[in-house]
Amino acid sequence: MITPERLLLVCSAGVVLGAFAIDAAAQDAKEPLWAYAYSTPPKPDDKATPQAPPTRNLRPNENADEQTRPRNVDGSSAAYSLVDVRDGHNVIDWFPGEHPPMPDVIRHGPASLAERGRGCGSCHLPNGKGRPENAPPAGQPAAYTLKQLQDMRDGLRRSADPRKPNSPTMNALAAAMTDKEMHEAAEYFAAIPWTPWIRVIEADLIPKMELEEGNMYITVGKEPTEPLAGRIVETPVDEHQANVLRNPRSSWIAGRTSSRSPQSAREPIRRECWFTSNRISRTASVR
Ligand code: HEC
Protein backbone atom coordinates (compact mmCIF):
# COMPACT_ATOMS: atom_id res chain seq x y z
CA MET A 1 0.00 0.00 0.00
CA ILE A 2 1.33 3.47 -0.84
CA THR A 3 1.00 5.67 2.22
CA PRO A 4 2.49 9.17 2.13
CA GLU A 5 5.33 8.04 4.41
CA ARG A 6 6.04 5.07 2.23
CA LEU A 7 5.95 7.25 -0.87
CA LEU A 8 8.46 9.62 0.61
CA LEU A 9 10.71 6.75 1.46
CA VAL A 10 10.80 5.50 -2.08
CA CYS A 11 10.87 8.91 -3.66
CA SER A 12 13.71 10.16 -1.56
CA ALA A 13 16.03 7.23 -1.86
CA GLY A 14 19.58 8.29 -2.43
CA VAL A 15 18.97 11.97 -2.84
CA VAL A 16 21.69 14.32 -3.95
CA LEU A 17 22.25 17.28 -1.75
CA GLY A 18 25.50 18.56 -3.10
CA ALA A 19 23.82 19.34 -6.37
CA PHE A 20 21.53 22.10 -5.24
CA ALA A 21 22.60 24.32 -8.12
CA ILE A 22 20.82 21.98 -10.50
CA ASP A 23 17.36 23.03 -11.57
CA ALA A 24 15.29 20.25 -10.04
CA ALA A 25 12.19 21.18 -12.02
CA ALA A 26 14.06 20.88 -15.31
CA GLN A 27 15.44 17.52 -14.25
CA ASP A 28 12.04 16.23 -13.28
CA ALA A 29 11.00 16.65 -16.92
CA LYS A 30 13.27 13.66 -17.61
CA GLU A 31 14.63 11.68 -14.71
CA PRO A 32 15.20 13.14 -11.27
CA LEU A 33 18.92 12.47 -10.85
CA TRP A 34 18.71 13.54 -7.24
CA ALA A 35 16.54 10.52 -6.50
CA TYR A 36 19.42 8.29 -7.55
CA ALA A 37 22.13 10.12 -5.61
CA TYR A 38 23.76 11.66 -8.68
CA SER A 39 24.11 15.22 -9.83
CA THR A 40 25.10 14.69 -13.46
CA PRO A 41 23.44 12.51 -16.12
CA PRO A 42 25.06 9.11 -16.80
CA LYS A 43 27.47 8.85 -19.72
CA PRO A 44 26.71 6.20 -22.37
CA ASP A 45 29.32 3.74 -21.05
CA ASP A 46 28.73 4.34 -17.34
CA LYS A 47 28.30 1.17 -15.30
CA ALA A 48 27.86 0.38 -11.62
CA THR A 49 30.95 -0.65 -9.70
CA PRO A 50 30.24 -4.22 -8.54
CA GLN A 51 29.76 -4.47 -4.78
CA ALA A 52 32.18 -6.67 -2.84
CA PRO A 53 30.70 -9.86 -1.36
CA PRO A 54 29.99 -9.92 2.39
CA THR A 55 33.00 -10.39 4.64
CA ARG A 56 33.96 -10.59 8.31
CA ASN A 57 37.46 -9.32 7.57
CA LEU A 58 38.64 -6.36 9.61
CA ARG A 59 38.94 -3.08 7.73
CA PRO A 60 42.63 -2.17 7.64
CA ASN A 61 41.95 1.57 7.84
CA GLU A 62 39.99 1.30 11.11
CA ASN A 63 41.04 0.45 14.65
CA ALA A 64 40.70 -3.33 15.19
CA ASP A 65 39.46 -3.10 18.79
CA GLU A 66 36.78 -0.66 17.76
CA GLN A 67 35.60 -3.09 15.09
CA THR A 68 35.45 -6.11 17.41
CA ARG A 69 34.11 -4.67 20.67
CA PRO A 70 30.49 -5.59 21.43
CA ARG A 71 27.93 -2.83 21.09
CA ASN A 72 24.38 -2.41 22.33
CA VAL A 73 21.35 -0.35 21.45
CA ASP A 74 18.60 0.85 23.80
CA GLY A 75 15.87 -1.68 24.41
CA SER A 76 17.75 -4.69 23.01
CA SER A 77 19.54 -7.40 24.98
CA ALA A 78 21.66 -8.29 21.93
CA ALA A 79 25.33 -7.35 21.54
CA TYR A 80 27.02 -7.05 18.17
CA SER A 81 30.42 -5.82 17.05
CA LEU A 82 30.87 -3.73 13.92
CA VAL A 83 32.16 -6.91 12.25
CA ASP A 84 28.80 -8.52 13.01
CA VAL A 85 26.83 -5.46 11.90
CA ARG A 86 28.69 -5.35 8.57
CA ASP A 87 28.49 -9.07 7.87
CA GLY A 88 25.82 -9.14 5.18
CA HIS A 89 25.77 -12.95 5.12
CA ASN A 90 24.65 -13.23 8.77
CA VAL A 91 22.11 -10.49 9.30
CA ILE A 92 22.07 -9.05 12.81
CA ASP A 93 18.76 -8.81 14.62
CA TRP A 94 18.49 -6.23 17.40
CA PHE A 95 14.76 -6.81 17.92
CA PRO A 96 13.77 -10.38 16.97
CA GLY A 97 10.37 -9.92 18.65
CA GLU A 98 9.38 -7.22 16.16
CA HIS A 99 9.03 -9.41 13.08
CA PRO A 100 8.29 -13.07 12.24
CA PRO A 101 11.20 -15.54 12.48
CA MET A 102 13.57 -14.79 9.60
CA PRO A 103 13.72 -17.56 6.97
CA ASP A 104 17.25 -18.52 5.92
CA VAL A 105 17.05 -16.45 2.74
CA ILE A 106 16.27 -13.29 4.72
CA ARG A 107 19.11 -13.92 7.18
CA HIS A 108 21.77 -15.46 4.92
CA GLY A 109 20.72 -14.81 1.31
CA PRO A 110 20.00 -17.33 -1.46
CA ALA A 111 21.45 -20.76 -0.60
CA SER A 112 22.94 -21.10 -4.10
CA LEU A 113 25.36 -18.25 -3.35
CA ALA A 114 26.61 -19.87 -0.12
CA GLU A 115 28.98 -17.52 1.77
CA ARG A 116 28.74 -14.91 -0.96
CA GLY A 117 25.02 -14.51 -0.44
CA ARG A 118 23.69 -11.40 1.25
CA GLY A 119 20.72 -11.78 3.52
CA CYS A 120 17.79 -9.66 2.38
CA GLY A 121 17.67 -8.19 5.89
CA SER A 122 21.16 -6.72 5.49
CA CYS A 123 19.89 -4.05 3.12
CA HIS A 124 16.13 -4.01 3.78
CA LEU A 125 16.57 -4.57 7.55
CA PRO A 126 14.97 -7.55 9.31
CA ASN A 127 11.76 -5.51 9.57
CA GLY A 128 11.71 -4.96 5.79
CA LYS A 129 11.37 -1.20 6.13
CA GLY A 130 14.47 -0.62 4.08
CA ARG A 131 16.69 2.41 3.87
CA PRO A 132 16.87 5.45 1.57
CA GLU A 133 19.31 3.77 -0.79
CA ASN A 134 17.18 0.66 -1.38
CA ALA A 135 13.46 -0.07 -0.93
CA PRO A 136 10.87 -0.90 1.73
CA PRO A 137 9.34 -4.33 0.94
CA ALA A 138 7.55 -4.60 4.32
CA GLY A 139 3.77 -4.72 4.14
CA GLN A 140 3.54 -5.16 0.38
CA PRO A 141 1.26 -7.90 -0.92
CA ALA A 142 3.16 -11.17 -1.39
CA ALA A 143 2.04 -11.36 -5.04
CA TYR A 144 3.57 -7.93 -5.71
CA THR A 145 6.89 -8.85 -4.10
CA LEU A 146 6.99 -12.15 -5.95
CA LYS A 147 6.43 -10.36 -9.26
CA GLN A 148 9.21 -7.86 -8.53
CA LEU A 149 11.64 -10.66 -7.72
CA GLN A 150 10.69 -12.53 -10.89
CA ASP A 151 11.04 -9.37 -12.98
CA MET A 152 14.46 -8.63 -11.47
CA ARG A 153 15.49 -12.22 -12.11
CA ASP A 154 14.28 -12.02 -15.71
CA GLY A 155 15.93 -8.65 -16.43
CA LEU A 156 12.59 -6.82 -16.71
CA ARG A 157 13.23 -4.52 -13.76
CA ARG A 158 16.50 -2.70 -13.37
CA SER A 159 17.78 0.67 -12.24
CA ALA A 160 17.10 3.58 -14.59
CA ASP A 161 20.51 4.90 -13.56
CA PRO A 162 23.20 2.43 -14.66
CA ARG A 163 25.64 3.72 -12.02
CA LYS A 164 23.58 2.77 -8.97
CA PRO A 165 25.68 -0.01 -7.40
CA ASN A 166 23.18 -1.81 -5.18
CA SER A 167 20.53 -2.40 -7.84
CA PRO A 168 22.64 -4.93 -9.81
CA THR A 169 23.40 -6.66 -6.48
CA MET A 170 19.65 -6.91 -5.89
CA ASN A 171 19.05 -8.27 -9.38
CA ALA A 172 21.83 -10.85 -8.95
CA LEU A 173 20.25 -11.99 -5.68
CA ALA A 174 16.87 -12.40 -7.36
CA ALA A 175 18.53 -14.40 -10.13
CA ALA A 176 20.12 -16.70 -7.54
CA MET A 177 16.87 -17.40 -5.62
CA THR A 178 14.83 -20.55 -5.96
CA ASP A 179 11.06 -20.27 -6.42
CA LYS A 180 10.68 -21.49 -2.84
CA GLU A 181 13.00 -18.77 -1.52
CA MET A 182 11.07 -16.14 -3.49
CA HIS A 183 7.81 -17.31 -1.94
CA GLU A 184 9.32 -17.40 1.54
CA ALA A 185 10.69 -13.87 1.18
CA ALA A 186 7.41 -12.56 -0.27
CA GLU A 187 5.36 -14.10 2.56
CA TYR A 188 7.81 -12.86 5.18
CA PHE A 189 7.70 -9.22 4.09
CA ALA A 190 3.92 -9.34 3.53
CA ALA A 191 3.44 -10.45 7.15
CA ILE A 192 5.08 -7.30 8.54
CA PRO A 193 2.67 -4.36 8.74
CA TRP A 194 3.93 -1.07 7.41
CA THR A 195 4.13 1.63 10.06
CA PRO A 196 5.29 5.22 9.52
CA TRP A 197 8.83 5.97 10.55
CA ILE A 198 9.71 9.02 8.51
CA ARG A 199 9.05 12.48 9.85
CA VAL A 200 8.33 14.94 7.05
CA ILE A 201 9.47 18.52 7.38
CA GLU A 202 8.74 21.31 4.94
CA ALA A 203 11.71 23.55 4.38
CA ASP A 204 13.44 25.72 1.82
CA LEU A 205 16.93 25.21 3.19
CA ILE A 206 18.53 22.09 4.65
CA PRO A 207 21.92 21.47 6.29
CA LYS A 208 24.84 20.36 4.14
CA MET A 209 24.82 16.61 3.43
CA GLU A 210 27.43 14.13 2.23
CA LEU A 211 27.13 10.79 0.49
CA GLU A 212 28.34 7.92 2.66
CA GLU A 213 29.82 4.67 1.39
CA GLY A 214 26.47 2.91 1.03
CA ASN A 215 25.05 5.58 -1.30
CA MET A 216 23.01 7.34 1.36
CA TYR A 217 23.17 10.99 2.35
CA ILE A 218 24.02 11.95 5.90
CA THR A 219 23.84 15.35 7.55
CA VAL A 220 27.20 17.02 8.09
CA GLY A 221 26.21 20.70 8.39
CA LYS A 222 24.73 22.22 11.52
CA GLU A 223 22.77 25.09 9.98
CA PRO A 224 20.32 24.98 7.05
CA THR A 225 22.31 26.50 4.20
CA GLU A 226 21.51 24.44 1.08
CA PRO A 227 18.35 24.99 -0.99
CA LEU A 228 16.10 21.95 -1.26
CA ALA A 229 15.20 23.16 -4.75
CA GLY A 230 12.24 20.89 -5.36
CA ARG A 231 13.86 17.70 -4.15
CA ILE A 232 12.66 15.32 -1.47
CA VAL A 233 15.55 14.53 0.79
CA GLU A 234 15.75 11.76 3.33
CA THR A 235 18.42 11.25 5.94
CA PRO A 236 18.78 9.39 9.26
CA VAL A 237 17.72 11.27 12.38
CA ASP A 238 20.71 9.68 14.15
CA GLU A 239 23.45 8.60 11.76
CA HIS A 240 25.31 6.51 14.35
CA GLN A 241 22.22 4.54 15.34
CA ALA A 242 20.74 4.13 11.87
CA ASN A 243 23.87 3.65 9.84
CA VAL A 244 26.78 2.54 12.00
CA LEU A 245 24.73 0.24 14.26
CA ARG A 246 21.85 -0.36 11.85
CA ASN A 247 19.36 0.02 14.65
CA PRO A 248 15.96 -0.64 13.00
CA ARG A 249 14.20 1.54 15.58
CA SER A 250 16.19 4.60 14.56
CA SER A 251 14.02 6.69 12.30
CA TRP A 252 14.38 9.05 9.35
CA ILE A 253 13.62 12.59 8.49
CA ALA A 254 12.51 13.79 5.06
CA GLY A 255 12.67 17.36 3.85
CA ARG A 256 10.27 18.62 1.24
CA THR A 257 10.15 22.05 -0.34
CA SER A 258 7.50 24.31 1.16
CA SER A 259 6.15 25.39 -2.20
CA ARG A 260 2.44 25.57 -1.48
CA SER A 261 0.70 28.66 -2.73
CA PRO A 262 -1.77 30.25 -0.28
CA GLN A 263 -4.80 29.11 -2.28
CA SER A 264 -3.60 25.50 -2.48
CA ALA A 265 -2.35 25.32 1.09
CA ARG A 266 -5.27 23.14 2.13
CA GLU A 267 -5.01 20.83 -0.84
CA PRO A 268 -2.72 17.82 -0.94
CA ILE A 269 0.43 18.54 -2.93
CA ARG A 270 0.59 16.65 -6.17
CA ARG A 271 4.07 15.68 -7.07
CA GLU A 272 5.49 13.33 -9.64
CA CYS A 273 7.53 10.66 -7.94
CA TRP A 274 9.71 7.96 -9.32
CA PHE A 275 10.26 4.74 -7.49
CA THR A 276 13.90 4.43 -6.66
CA SER A 277 16.11 3.17 -9.42
CA ASN A 278 13.52 1.57 -11.56
CA ARG A 279 11.35 2.57 -14.42
CA ILE A 280 8.01 2.73 -12.68
CA SER A 281 6.66 6.21 -12.17
CA ARG A 282 3.58 7.25 -10.26
CA THR A 283 1.89 10.48 -9.44
CA ALA A 284 0.70 10.64 -5.90
CA SER A 285 -0.50 13.08 -3.32
CA VAL A 286 1.73 13.74 -0.38
CA ARG A 287 0.75 15.88 2.56
C1 HEC B 1 22.69 -4.92 -1.55
C2 HEC B 1 21.47 -4.55 -0.89
C3 HEC B 1 20.25 -5.43 -1.11
C4 HEC B 1 20.05 -6.72 -0.67
C5 HEC B 1 21.00 -7.60 0.10
C6 HEC B 1 18.73 -7.07 -1.08
N7 HEC B 1 18.15 -6.04 -1.73
FE8 HEC B 1 16.23 -5.98 -2.38
N9 HEC B 1 16.55 -4.14 -3.16
C10 HEC B 1 17.74 -3.45 -3.12
C11 HEC B 1 17.63 -2.27 -3.94
C12 HEC B 1 18.73 -1.24 -4.18
C13 HEC B 1 16.34 -2.24 -4.44
C14 HEC B 1 15.73 -1.23 -5.40
C15 HEC B 1 15.97 -1.85 -6.75
C16 HEC B 1 15.54 -0.98 -7.90
O17 HEC B 1 14.38 -0.56 -7.94
O18 HEC B 1 16.39 -0.72 -8.76
C19 HEC B 1 15.67 -3.43 -3.92
C20 HEC B 1 14.35 -3.74 -4.17
C21 HEC B 1 13.70 -4.87 -3.69
C22 HEC B 1 12.32 -5.17 -3.88
C23 HEC B 1 11.30 -4.29 -4.60
C24 HEC B 1 10.51 -3.51 -3.60
C25 HEC B 1 9.45 -2.65 -4.24
O26 HEC B 1 8.83 -1.86 -3.50
O27 HEC B 1 9.21 -2.70 -5.45
C28 HEC B 1 12.08 -6.38 -3.30
C29 HEC B 1 10.77 -7.12 -3.25
C30 HEC B 1 13.32 -6.84 -2.75
N31 HEC B 1 14.29 -5.88 -2.99
C32 HEC B 1 13.49 -8.04 -2.11
C33 HEC B 1 14.72 -8.52 -1.67
C34 HEC B 1 14.94 -9.87 -1.21
C35 HEC B 1 13.87 -10.96 -1.12
C36 HEC B 1 16.25 -9.95 -0.88
C37 HEC B 1 17.02 -11.16 -0.38
C38 HEC B 1 17.21 -12.24 -1.30
C39 HEC B 1 16.85 -8.64 -1.12
N40 HEC B 1 15.89 -7.82 -1.62
C41 HEC B 1 18.15 -8.32 -0.84
C42 HEC B 1 18.86 -3.80 -2.41
C43 HEC B 1 19.05 -5.02 -1.80
Q: Please, what are the domains in the chain?
A: 4-45+196-286 (no CATH), 64-190 (1.10.760.10)
Judging by beta carbons within 10 Å of its beta carbon (0-12, 13-18, 19+), is residue 71 exposed, middle or buried?
Answer: middle
Distance between Cα 61 and ligand 1 center (Å): 29
pLDDT digits (tens, 9 = 90+) for 158-188: 988 889 899 999 999 999 999 999 999 999 9
Model confidence at 189, pLDDT cuts 50, 70, 90, reads: very high
Closest atom of ligand 1 to 137 CA is 24
SS3 sequence of the chain: CCCHHHHHHHHCCCCCCCCCCCCHHHHHCCCCHHHHCCCCCCCCCCCCCCCCCCCCCCCCCCCHHHHHCCECCCCCCCCECHHHHHCCCCCCCCCHHHCCCCCHHHHHCCHHHHHHCCCHHHHHCCCCCCCCCCCCCCCCCHHHHHHHHHHHHCCCCCCCCCCCCHHHHHHHHHHHCCHHHHHHHHHHHHCCCCCCCEEEEEECEEEEEEECCCCCEEEEEEEEEEECCCCEEEEECCHHHHHHCCCCCCCEEEEEECCCCHHHCCCCEEEEEECCCCCCEEEEEEC
Average pLDDT over residues 191-218: 83
Q: Is the CB of 105 under 6 A from ligand 1?
A: yes
Distance between Cα 267 and ligand 1 center (Å): 33
pLDDT of residue 128 exceeding 50, the answer is yes
Query: How many other β-carbons are positioned within 10 Å of the β-carbon of residue 73?
Result: 18
Q: Is the CB of 171 under 6 A from ligand 1?
A: no
Distance between Cα 269 and ligand 1 center (Å): 28
pLDDT the model gives residue 132: 87
Cα separation, 78 vs 80, whole angstroms: 7
What residues have CB less than 8 Å from 177, skipping those under 6 apart? 105, 110, 112, 149, 153, 185
pLDDT the model gives residue 259: 54
Q: Is the CB of 215 under 6 A from ligand 1?
A: no
Distance between Cα 29 and ligand 1 center (Å): 26
| pTM of the predicted model over 0.75 | yes
Mean of the per-residue pLDDT values of the chain = 81
Model confidence at 214, pLDDT cuts 50, 70, 90, reads: confident
User: Worst-scoring range by mean pLDDT, 32-41, 66-75, 229-238, 250-259?
Assistant: 250-259
Q: Is the CB of 167 under 6 A from ligand 1?
A: yes
Cα separation, 148 vs 182, whole angstroms: 10
Q: Is the CB of 236 under 6 A from ligand 1?
A: no
pLDDT of residue 117 exceeding 90, the answer is yes
pLDDT the model gives residue 260: 52
pLDDT of residue 10 exceeding 50, the answer is no
pLDDT the model gives residue 30: 66
pLDDT the model gives residue 256: 72
**Protein residue with its CA nearest to atom 21 in ligand 1:** 135
pLDDT of residue 26 exceeding 70, the answer is no
pLDDT the model gives residue 251: 83
Distance between Cα 145 and ligand 1 center (Å): 10
Higher model confidence: residue 107 or residue 131?
107
Closest atom of ligand 1 to 158 CA is 18
Closest atom of ligand 1 to 145 CA is 29
